[in-house]
Structure formats: structure tokens, C-alpha cells
Structure 1
Amino acid sequence: MSDQSKPSDTTFNPSDHSHRRHNPLSGEWVLVSPHRSKRPWLGQEEAPTPLQTTPYDPKCYLCAGNTRINGIENPQYENTFVFTNDFAAVEQQMRESTACEHALLQHTPVAGTSRVICFSPDHSKTLPQLPQTEIVKVIECWQAQLNELSQQWDWVQIFENKGAAMGCSNPHPHGQIWATDTLPTEAIKADANLRRYYEQHQRNLLLDYATLELEQQERVVDQNEHWLVVVPYWACWPFELLLLPLQPVKHLNQLNHAQTDSLASIMKSCLTRYDNLFNCSFPYSMGWHGQAFNRGNQDHWQLHAHFYPPLLRSASVKKHMVGYEMLAEPQRDITPEQAAQRLRDCSTKHYAA
């Protein structure tokens, strides 16, 4: 190569040079600093989350037949089990509010309900370790809860905090549902940006994004007939994932049997890749975002799930959102494209199987 054809020092390469990426769902930006991944690591290392090996723990408040802290005995459930959280974050009764004393000191009452979903009676099996048929039962439980809760509440948030690193207070594999009479902050941002794109283009933002990712194939981790899993272009967390249906779907309770089965399949696949990445029970917070209820036309909405895992370099090195991230904007070192390649390289057969 001649000197004239060599790239100059000012040539931009997103795999090597710092840049910002825009998140069209939140309207926010993330700083990407790929050159920092080459620096030596002297930060905090935490003990990896071990795999559970005991299918029943007599001291666990969530195991079948055990008594919870409030004295209520769990049934001998055989698949999923749902109950109202003994320490619910929101109350069903709406309280009357006094007038705000100042424009800078505003508050408003909120009503709703908080529920716990035990995925299985097996204390030792997280979602990627369950058979696909049992993951289908978890999805069907989510769907049934949506059908019920959407009759009364505007927003139904399905989520899971997996692992002690994510603040999970009980190791028995479980998730939660919080339903409220108003949209929470993240939902408000997504709703506004999805609506704005739809009004400008007469198309759905996330369906357009899925088409783009399928064309480029740079950030795709898993795909099947009905679903797509990518490390999103704007990912904040090192191995963040976005799970999308490939057809118009506003929420989980609109899925047909084929879509439900293939969702269980792709969830098992991508979550197994997570565990295999560092040979540990991979911690994360995940949640589903779908249409708001009782709010008129929702054609701008498209169902999607976010997976936010904290692990960075190994089972014991975690990414922390501190300093610049807390005071300015999120920042990441490895690019989403590099993260997607590492996850694609992982087996879909669980390392502990």
C-alpha cells in the first residue's frame, strides 16, 4: 500500500475510536470508547453467582409447600406459581393527596399491584436450564397475567432480576409483575419516541430496526422464524440484548401458539449463551415493554424485551455505572458488534448440562 492510500490519523473507525450512539427508544446517547478495552484491569472483582444444585430448599420462602414470612403456605405447585408480593411496592387502594405546597415539591398518588411469579418448583433451575416446554408455561403465565391486569391497570411491567448481583433477594428462580394506573418514566420515553417515529414515517420504529439488523447481521445473536435477538446498536451494558418479534405484536398476550413456542426456543438459546459466556449463572435484569392499556390507538407500539447484564470481563468482573455514567451519560468499552460476536461464538448447549 502506498503512503497516499494509507488511512490518515483522522480516519474514523467505530471499532477503535470514541464516538456516541443514539438510542431512538429513549432519545438518549451512549458514549462508546473501544480503545479503553485494551487498558489493564485493576477494579473490583466479585464472586461469580454459582449454579444452584438443590431442587428443594426447606428454608426457601418460594419453594412449593413452604411457609412464607407472612405465615401463608405455598401450594404444592407443579409449574408456575403466582401470588401478590408480601412486600408490594404499590398499593391497590388509591389514596387522596393533599395539594402540592410548591411547584418544585410535586407528588402524585399511584395505585397498582405487585406480584411474584415462581417459574418452576425446582429451586435449582433458572430459565436457560428449564426444558423449552416449561419456558412456554412461563410465557403463558405472563400472558394470563396480562389478560387479567390490563383490564384494570394502564401499565403492566413484567420483569426478572436474576442473581444476587442484581439485588435478587431470593435465589429461587422467579420474576415479578408490577401493574400501575399510570405509565412509568421509561415507558413514557419509549411511548413518545415510538409515536413520533410512527407519525413521521407511517411505519413502526422497531420493525424497521429489526429489518435493518437482519440486513447488516453485525449485531445479531440469535434469530428464528418469529424472533430476533441483537446487541442493540445503542447498548449501554456490555452484553445487553434486545429481543424483538419479527411481525407486528403489541404485547405478549397477542402471540399465537407458534410465536409462543419459538419465543421459548430463542429465550432458552440466548440465555444459555449468557451462562456459557463466563461459565456461570449469568446475572441480569430483564423486562418486557409492550403497549399501554386503556389509552386508545397503540399502533406505534411493538413488543420488545430488554436484558441488562452487568458482567464485563469475566464471571467476577462487573460493569458499574458510576462517575461519568451517573453525572453525564452511559459509557461502554467493547462495541456492541464485538459483544454480539462473542455471544454468537457461545454454544447453545448449557455448559452444566
Structure 2
Amino acid sequence: MSSFDLAEHPHRRYNPLSGEWVLVSPHRAKRPWQGQQEDVQKDARPEYDPTCYLCPTNTRANGEQNPDYPSTYVFENDFGALQASTPEGSYTKNSLLRAESERGICKVICFSPRHDLTLPDMEVADIRKVVDLWEREYLELSKIDFINHVQIFENKGAVMGCSNPHPHGQIWAQSSVPAGPARETKMQQEYFEANGLSLLQDYLELELEENQRIVYSNEHFVALVPFWAVWPFETMLLPRRHIRHLGEMTEEEKDAFADAIKKLTKVYDQLFNVSFPYSAGIHQMPTDGEEHTGWHLHMHFYPPLLRSASVKKFMVGYEMLGDPQRDITPETSAGRLRSLV
């Protein structure tokens, strides 16, 4: 029998951030780039759309008018999934039917006044303004006594549920810590207490040493395809330094963060010659008053495209009933993305 080869044989990969596994089947994708490569019709949009509720000076559904904002703009979501006024309460029946009230604040962040831009189209200096706004909102929301988690994220593209193409993201701040970040909190803290260094700091050193899954790097940030990636072109942005949240970044690190976001999203757009859809979000320490010494800030990018602009990855069958599975290895995906930097 031949010796085990990550590039040839089916195997499971462990995610130390979540404690979960992904099944990788590289033998099913011997020639992953032979599929149809169709031309995609470009989505031409005006700089200003009078019907867009996010453009400057336009009126939103609740009757409020946006200011003539020159760069970034944030406002409380008119139809937020969470509300600060929700009363405390719960429902329990026979211990199997349980519900608890949840308080929170939802905000919308417009990245630019221009309707026709996305993050890869923006200048690094303008993306830096977005980073500054993310930082300010995280720090301000963290001071509210009932807010224990602040989730900053962006859904890009209709396939990811984005209902408005104007460049924008969201913030959901809430009283509980969601399951994903809670798992990351547990795994990172346990590793830090056992090893004295952050889990992602040690992981990043391994990735830089192997240099197989790195997509882009600058002085302060590294973009890579995680060893345990589930989505075909999933990536993660990591600061080289152990930083728990946005407020701990230096000015130079914030510049580098903006640069890495620009480079990575530009590469995505070039991969299939389309405005690349994804869901992306920043994971940072909870705002529950604990020290969280093991937390290491990072940004996840989860894009759904598989082989072309119209072939998408879905979680079906075994993946819904068992574990996530992928055919294209993270090493192959990273190489494909890296070649476009």
C-alpha cells in the first residue's frame, strides 16, 4: 500500500478554532479547472441611484433621510433583527421547549457614498476609513452593559442574501455570545492557558513556515486559505501580532489591514472575472467584561463559488447529515488565488 498523501487520498482535517472536522476528497478533483468558463455580464451601476435607500440624501423606508455623507456612514438598522427595547423573559415547557428573550442593536455601515463601488474597487485610504469606523463602533458598543458580543460582517452579492448592491456591511451587537464565537473563545483560551501563546499566533507561524496556503502578506497581516477550510475559496485574514480586538491595533496595523482587504477582495474578483460574492466577518473578543487573554482577532471570508461564476458550492446530503466535505484541497485553492495577486 502506498504511503498517505494529503494531495491524493481522502482524509479529515481538524479545525482547532471550532473543534470540528472537514472531509477532504482530493481524488475527486484531479482536473478541477477543466469546467466551463463562461463570460459574465458586468453589473453596470451608476455612481448615484435615486432609488437606493443607502445613497446620500435619499429617504429610507422609515422616512428618515440620509445625510450627504462624503465617506462612510453608519445608522441603526430600520429593520434590525435585534432590538434594544426587548423585555426580559423566557419560555420553558418540560425542559425540551425553551426560549429566552434577546436584546441587541443592529447597525448598517455604508462603506462609500458611491453606489457603483465594492471594497476591491475602493482606494486603500478609503477602506482604512471603514476600518476606523469598525473600530469605533466595536469600542462604543462594548461599553453598553447588555452587549456581550459585537459581530461585524458583510454579505456581498445577491447569492449571499444581499438585498442592496450599494457597498455596505452590518453590525449585530447582542446580549449573548453566538455559538461560533463561543466555541472559538473556549478553544483559544484553553490553548493559551496550556501553551502561553495564542492558538492563531502559533498556527500562523506554521503556515508561514510551510508557505503552501498563503495568498498574500504584508508587514502586519497575512491572508491564507485555512488548513481546515470548508468553502472552496475560503480565506482568513490574520494579524501577525497577537491582537484581541480592533481597538488594540496600531495605526500602521490598521493601514495594513485595509491593504490586505483590498488585495484579497481584488483577487477574488479576478478569479472568475466577476464581482465575487461572499460573506465575511471579523471575529474578536467578546465584550462581556472578561479579559479573554487567548483571543486573537481574525477575519473570515466564505465565498460560495466553486468552479466558475455560475457553479456554486452548497451544503447538501452528507454535509447536512454528517460533516462538511470538499474536493479541491486548500493548497490548490491557495495556489490559484496566489497566482492572481
User: For this structure pair, what is the TM-score category when the shorter chain's length is used for normalisation?
Assistant: over 0.9
Residue identity (%): 51
**8 Å contact from structure 1 (residues 49, 281) kept in 2:** no
Aligned equivalent of 1:317, options 311, 325, 334: 311
Task: Kindly provide the amino acid, as one letter, of the partner of residue 238 in structure 1.
Answer: P
Q: Which residue of 1 aligns with 2:95?
A: 103
Q: Which residue of 2 aligns with 1:223?
A: 217
**8 Å contact from structure 2 (residues 40, 273) kept in 1:** no
Structure 1 stretches (4+) deviating beyond 2 angstroms?
38-41, 43-53
Q: Which residue of 2 aligns with 1:146?
A: 138
Task: Kindly provide the amino acid, as one letter, of the partner of residue 78 in structure 1.
Answer: P
**What's the offset of the Cα at 1:51?**
3.8
Q: Which residue of 1 aligns with 2:285?
A: 291
**8 Å contact from structure 1 (residues 18, 31) kept in 2:** yes
- SS at structure 1 position matched to 2:192: helix
**What's the offset of the Cα at 1:44?**
12
**8 Å contact from structure 1 (residues 160, 286) kept in 2:** yes
Task: Kindly provide the amino acid, as one letter, of the partner of residue 7 in structure 2.
Answer: S
After superposition, where does 1:43-192 map in structure 2 within 5 Å? 50-152=42-144, 153-192=147-186
Task: Provide the TM-score with structure 1 as the length reference.
Answer: 0.92
- Structure 1 residues 45 and 87, CA, compared in 2 at 3 Å: closer, same or farther? farther
**What's the offset of the Cα at 1:129?**
0.4
Root-mean-square deviation (Å):
1.9
Q: Which residue of 2 aligns with 1:35?
A: 27
Query: Deviation string for 1:201-260 (max 9, x for gaps)?
Result: 122100000111111100000111101111000000000001100011111122111001
Q: Any stretches of 5+ residues in structure 2 without a counterpart? A: none
**8 Å contact from structure 1 (residues 44, 318) kept in 2:** no
- Structure 1 residues 84 and 29, CA, compared in 2 at 3 Å: closer, same or farther? same
Q: Any stretches of 5+ residues in structure 1 without a counterpart? A: 1-7, 348-353
State the alpha-carbon separation in 1 of the partners of residues 155 and 216 from structure 2.
22
Query: Deviation string for 1:286-311 (max 9, x for gaps)?
Result: 00000111332211100000000000
**What's the offset of the Cα at 1:109?**
1.2
**8 Å contact from structure 1 (residues 286, 308) kept in 2:** yes
**What's the offset of the Cα at 1:39?**
7.7
- Structure 1 residues 320 and 45, CA, compared in 2 at 3 Å: closer, same or farther? farther
Q: Which residue of 2 aligns with 1:248?
A: 242
State the alpha-carbon separation in 2 of the partners of residues 81 and 131 from structure 1.
17
- SS at structure 1 position matched to 2:331: helix
Q: Which moved more, 1:162-171 or 1:248-257?
A: 248-257
- SS at structure 2 position matched to 1:343: helix
**8 Å contact from structure 1 (residues 20, 32) kept in 2:** yes
Query: Deviation string for 1:89-142 (max 9, x for gaps)?
Result: 011024232451121111111101000000001111100100111000000010
Task: Kindly provide the amino acid, as one letter, of the partner of residue 159 in structure 1.
Answer: F
State the alpha-carbon separation in 2 of the partners of residues 203 and 49 from structure 1.
48
State the alpha-carbon separation in 2 of the partners of residues 266 and 40 from structure 1.
27
**8 Å contact from structure 2 (residues 86, 103) kept in 1:** yes
Task: Provide the TM-score with structure 2 as the length reference.
Answer: 0.95
Query: Deviation string for 1:253-276 (max 9, x for gaps)?
Result: 221110011111111111110000
Query: Is 1:308 the counterpart of 2:306 in the alignment?
Result: no
Task: Kindly provide the amino acid, as one letter, of the partner of residue 47 in structure 2.
Answer: P
- SS at structure 2 position matched to 1:314: coil
**8 Å contact from structure 1 (residues 56, 122) kept in 2:** yes
Task: Kindly provide the amino acid, as one letter, of the partner of residue 292 in structure 2.
Answer: Q
State the alpha-carbon separation in 2 of the partners of residues 248 and 134 from structure 1.
25
State the alpha-carbon separation in 2 of the partners of residues 148 and 253 from structure 1.
10
